[in-house]
Structure 1
C-alpha cells in the first residue's frame, strides 16, 4: 500500500504497523464470531428445526430526545 513512502516507513518504525495489527485483530474477531454464531449441530437444532425466539423479539428501542430527563 505505502511501499515507497519514507513517511509511512518512519511511522511504522516509531509506532509499529498499526493498520496491519488492526486488520489481523479484526480477522481474529471475525473468526471468533463465526464460531460463536454458527448454528449448533445437535438434534433439534438443525435446518427445519423450530428455533426459540431470539432475545429482544417483541420490543423496540425508543429514541431518547435531547434535554433534561424527568423521572
Structure 2
C-alpha cells in the first residue's frame, strides 16, 4: 500500500497494521495451494507412459 493509499483509507491502513495484510496472505496461500495441486494431479507422466 502506498502512502497515498494509506491517507485515503486510514481504516484499512489501521486494520493492516493491526492484523497484517490478510488479502496478500490469502493470495500467497492460494497460489501455493494451486502449485501443490498442479503437482499432485500432473498427468504428464501418465500420458508419456501410455504413448509407449
Structure 1 length normalisation: TM-score?
0.54
Q: Which has the larger radius of gyration?
A: 1
Bigger fraction of residues in helix: 2
Stretches of structure 1 lacking an aligned partner (at least 5 in a row): 50-71
Q: What is the number of residues matched between the two proteins?
A: 44
Which string of whole-angstrom CA distances, capped at 9 and with x for unpartnered residues, describes residues 7-26 of structure 1? 10000000100111011000
TM normalised by structure 2 equals 0.71
| RMSD (CA atoms) | 1.8
Counterpart in 2 of 1:26? 30
Deviation beyond 2 Å, 4+ runs, structure 1: none
Higher relative contact order (CA 8 A, sep 6+): 2
